[in-house]
Amino acid sequence: MFDFASSPLIPLASFMHTHSMPLQNASLLLGGAPRLRETQRLIEELSDAPRMTRRLRRSIDRLYELLTLEHVHEPERSEAAFFALIDPEWPMIEEICLLSDGLLEALTTHDAENAQAMGKTAIQ
């Protein structure tokens, strides 16, 4: 499992681990089985990854776009069809908003720590 003591991905992996089930539920609701599988892969990959890769970053960005409804107004995308089935009064909607805020915070923390570490490396 994840070694929280040594990975530079601590903020992201911790968030994903703590909110694993709600993230999976949101992915299924907003994007169906394909997006659920992507989220499950992302959670697993984050638990094993020693550092951020382009592929991992793209997966995180795709999850964030899903949670923030980035593509629901594009009729050719599956997200539009899933969004049409959602009742804005469902309690899960507020949880999805909180998940997107939390993911953004974890990603921002990771990016800031990474930038700081890069600066220290460049100075030394």
Mean pLDDT per 10-residue interval, the chain, length 124 residues:
61 93 97 97 92 95 96 89 91 95 94 76 46
Model pLDDT, residue 108: 93
Model pLDDT, residue 72: 87
Model pLDDT, residue 63: 98
Structure tokens at 96: 């999805």
Q: What is the dihedral of CA 88, 90, 93, 94, to 10 degrees?
A: 110
Model pLDDT, residue 11: 82
Give every CB contact of residue 116 below 8 A, 6+ residues apart in sequence. none
What are the sequence ranges of the domains in the chain? 10-123
Which pTM does this prediction carry?
A: 0.86
Instruction: Say what angle helices 10-18 and 20-48 make with each other, to 10 degrees.
Output: 140
Q: How far apart are CA 119 and CA 1, in angstroms?
A: 30
